[in-house]
Amino acid sequence: MVLPPPNVTGTLHLGHALTCSVQDAIARWHQMQGAEVVFVPGCDHAGIATQVVVEQHLWNTQATTRHQLGRERFVDEVWKWKKEKGNTIYEQMKRLGTTLDWHRAVFTMDQHMSDAVKEAFIQLFDCGLVYRKKAPVNWCCSLQSTISDIEVEHTHLTGPSELMVPGYKEPVTFGKMYDFAYKVVGLDEELIVSTTRPETVLGDTAIMVHPDDPRYSRFIGMSVFHPFRQEPIPIIEDEAVDPDFGTGVVKVTPGHSQEDFEVGLRHNLPQITIFDEQGHLNDVVKEFKGLPRFAARPVITEALKNLGLYRGCHPHPMMLPLCTRTHDVIEHMLKPQWFIRCSDMATEAIKAVRTGELQIHPDMHRRTWQEWLESGREWCVSRQLWWGHRVPAYCVTWRDGHQLWLAAHSEDDARHRAMEREGLPASSIISVTQDDDVLDTWFSSGLYPFVVFGWPQDTLELRAHYPITLLETGHDILFFWVARMVMLALKLTGELPFKTVLLHGLICDADGHKMSKSRGNIVDPLHVINGAALEELKIHSGSGQELLKTGGSQMLAAIPECGADALRFTLCSTNFKNQLLSVDITRAEQNRFLCNKIWQTVRFLVSALKRTQDKSRVTSLVLPQQRDELALMDRWILSRLSVLVHSASRHFEAYDLHLVTAAFTDFWYYNLCDVYLESIKPTLKHGTDDARTAILQTLWTAVDVGLLVLSPFMPYLTEELYHRLPRAEPSTKSIMQCSYPQPSEWSVWKDGKAEELVTNLQHVAAALRSLTAQYSIPSSKAQGSIVTTDTELAAALSENMVVMKTLGHVGSLQVVVGPDSPPPASAVVVISHTTSVYLHLQNIVNIAAEIARLHKKARKLEKELTKLTNRMTAHKYQEHTPDHKQEAHSEKVSSLKRELAHINNLITHLEKT
């Protein structure tokens, strides 16, 4: 596996911890299965994200901009940041206990990575898949760079909304539709268009209508007069128009809209850019030159009014594209950019999934994989940044004035390639200049699975470890990273980069909100591992506002120290295949208690072993041939252990780690500790040597195998306890060198009959405990009877009388075989049609006093019930009481009625005794 390299923009949060925990559990499980495991760590240079945070850091600490520093010095500052933050990220991973091959760690700006990026770009260019053209891109005016689709957040506005935009002192209003008229040339008529951005009218090069719209068919082929550029623009027909939307007439601005750009290509329309890179109007219309784009909106609207063309505005819901880094409004700009043609590669990626050669889990993502790739969209890979892999493309200028763009490893290589291509001497070249842009971070990351093993060199590592077995990552980057890895790998290596893709959901806080710094709900995994005081949980949002990291409404105080094991177990206990994962970090504290329970169990066993003579027999696994020597409870716990082993194996293979952790918790808490440990304590204290030896060997087996099952999730605890547990044979150096328990070895211990009998015994014991608790009778004084017609159950009860008294919390117990015959003055719980459990009350409970106490409690409940019922039947209760309160009141009434019925039944029974 390769660990998805986290961005070197700060520290890890719980989302990264989830990835590390899930992958490491899978890696450890495979290693214990006997596989050679290669698990590669790394960090991503994260071009835009890192440049933004470093620029902010420089401004906050030195009041310096990157332009004041210059490109070279700024890049040096980024490398300093990377060294500090990259080491922090690796330390966090190590604290989580990840078994990564640290000697293989890769940073996506390492030299061998840079060489591979150049080679990949050149190969794609040489086969015609990389090309340069002018096309619309997502432009962030604050960053002054193109950004990828994944870095654009589409915010839904239901109507007029005032938003603060970077660079503007006052909020800007969005969510309005503006109507204005275009005058038809040669006619005394007008066509009214609608737009949410009236400032873009300066770049209109046509207006269009639907070809089948009878209202406007006579205008097709004519022109309208542009009010500001003082020139005619055509009226065209195109099926892209929705006749039912607005007036059915649409303005076309190819220079500032992806959709309009496509229309412009179909109709050969001019492409006019009206904004500069800072978002200010250029000199297309000189009277507006220099105005910021949103400041120009009211100015241009007023100008339309003065021309008598403005027809009003009205509320309009819209999707507003925002830069996730700066929260600036995205501007679609025409820019010369480098693109990769993906259609053919996408077809191969679709085919790999359709044929089953590439598996995607969960299956629900297969359809979205196909739909996204079928769009065949090209990939803009250039970014106007200083931090990243500089595009290995060079512009060669010849003496006759023509220019040639080509990909090359260096300036000399570009010169040589140009001479070969054109068949001209070196003296014909005036200059060779490298493109200033850098490559999209996803391009270098897309090469990751094979570059980490030495590609493009044919290394032994590459032969041995590529393709990798499994890729596990978040579903939100299925297309931006996973699909691109598949496409690039198929093209550059001829092989799929991996055979299986496992996707996890987005991690949310306890209230279901996606964790983000701006919301203030991210959680540093080290705060959960080490604990954190309230003051440590304060962060600063992007706007500088101090926020309290809560992890949801349930985390309003300091985080207690939980440890790495508890955090890992908590994260793996989540069904990570869901789209959204609600992780309540208070569960980590509960799992710390589980760690303590495991520790105390081993401590109990080790203490008991110290008093045992025959340690060599006790400290080894129970063998199948010893089955006949074992008591019922021993056979039962080994059967439950067999179920755990089968469950762990099955669910690990299906990557359902939450079901493995659930099976372990169920076994250790509810089988081993709550039942088996309690059942054997009397025998350990008063039993024979042979009985104690058999019990301790069974307990040792259950503990040892349980630790092995748990090891992939809790490496620290299981490693420590593995070495503390005495063994007949010398232990290995690490629990990781042990074999994971195999179902084939433990099938022999599955004992359905023992499980059925013990389940029935547990029902009896639970009934006895319920009765003793109900009447507050100390276990030493409690006396019980079990009346049953089930002879097999009766035999099991008789053979395990000590166990039953322990689990049932009674001092004495008798079993009566025959028809139901209640003992005098007793309380009863009916287990089944064959069995009833009785608790003797005579001479133990003051019947009269108990009846009086119950009557008093019943009157109190009746009073409360009457009060609530009167309230619910009061005049206008339905109108004035919120629905959620009405529901709560109804549930309370039902609860009171149930409790009152139970008390009345007890009174009736006691009055009969």
- The three-state (H, E, C) secondary structure of 649-681, written as one string: HHHHHCCCHHHHHHHHHHHHHHHHHHHHHHHHH
Average pLDDT estimate for 402-413:
95
Q: What is the pLDDT of residue 913?
A: 66
Structural tokens at position 465: 């470890």
3-state secondary structure of 849: helix
Strands of the sheet with 393-398, listed across from one edge: 403-407, 393-398, 429-434
Amino acid at 781: K
Q: Encode 633-671: b = buried (16+ Cβ within 10 Å), e = exposed.
A: bbbbbbbbbbbbbbbbbebbeebbbbbbbebbbebbeeb
Question: Which residues are 181's β-sheet partners?
Answer: 192
3-state secondary structure of 340: strand
Q: Encode 210-219: b = buried (16+ Cβ within 10 Å), e = exposed.
A: beebeebeeb
Using pLDDT thresholds of 50, 70 and 90, give the confidence band for residue 518: low
Q: What is the pLDDT of residue 540?
A: 38
In 800-846, which ranges are continuous DSSP H helix? 801-808
Structure-model confidence comparison of residues 720 and 399, the more confident one? 720
Beta strands at 106-107 and 42-43: parallel, antiparallel or unpaired: parallel
Using pLDDT thresholds of 50, 70 and 90, give the confidence band for residue 424: confident
Q: How far apart are CA 815 and CA 766, in angstroms?
A: 16
Q: What is the pLDDT of residue 545?
A: 38
Q: What share of the chain is helix, strand, coil (3-state, %, to 5)?
A: 50, 20, 35
Q: What is the pLDDT of residue 546?
A: 38
Q: What is the pLDDT of residue 557?
A: 60
Q: Which residue in the block uniquely carries the two structure tokens 């299965």?
A: 33
Say if CB 156 and CB 165 are below 8 A apart.
no
What's the gap between Cα 787 and its chain centre?
54
Average pLDDT estimate for 257-275:
94
Q: What is the pLDDT of residue 538?
A: 57
Using pLDDT thresholds of 50, 70 and 90, give the confidence band for residue 698: very high
Q: What is the pLDDT of residue 548?
A: 42
Say if CB 375 and CB 347 are below 8 A apart.
no
pLDDT of 555 > 50? The answer is no
Q: What is the DSSP letter of 559?
A: B
Q: How far apart are CA 828 and CA 837, in angstroms?
A: 6
Average pLDDT estimate for 862-876:
91
Q: What is the pLDDT of residue 143?
A: 86
CA 817, 820, 825, 831 torsion-angle sign: positive
Q: How far apart are CA 515 and CA 546, in angstroms?
A: 16
pLDDT of 478 > 90? The answer is yes
Q: What is the pLDDT of residues 667-682, one digit of tens each?
A: 999 999 999 999 999 9
Structural tokens at position 421: 């291509």
Q: How far apart are CA 622 and CA 644, in angstroms?
A: 16
pLDDT of 807 > 70? The answer is yes
Average pLDDT estimate for 749-777:
92
Instruction: Tell me which of 31-45, 177-191, 442-456, 577-591 is least confident.
Output: 577-591
Structure-model confidence comparison of residues 522 and 640, the more confident one? 640
Looking at 550-625, which runs of residues are DSSP E strands? 580-582
Q: How far apart are CA 137 and CA 466, in angstroms?
A: 35
Q: How far is CA 103 from CA 26, 42, 116, in A?
A: 20, 10, 19
Using pLDDT thresholds of 50, 70 and 90, give the confidence band for residue 843: confident
Structure-model confidence comparison of residues 630 and 776, the more confident one? 630
Q: How far apart are CA 148 and CA 48, in angstroms?
A: 10
Say if CB 721 and CB 598 are below 8 A apart.
yes
Say if CB 716 and CB 743 are below 8 A apart.
no
pLDDT of 517 > 60? The answer is no
Q: Which of 532, 547, 657, 628 is nearest to 585 (CA)?
A: 532
Q: How far apart are CA 32 and CA 337, in angstroms?
A: 49
Radius of gyration of the chain from its Cα atoms, rounded to whole angstroms: 37
Structure-model confidence comparison of residues 773 and 122, the more confident one? 122
Say if CB 219 and CB 184 are below 8 A apart.
yes
Q: How far apart are CA 231 and CA 219, in angstroms?
A: 17
Q: How far is CA 751 from CA 622, 639, 673, 745, 791, in A?
A: 15, 5, 20, 14, 20
Q: What is the pLDDT of residues 152-209, one digit of tens each?
A: 889 999 999 999 999 999 999 999 999 999 999 999 999 999 999 999 999 999 999 9
Q: What is the pLDDT of residue 553?
A: 43
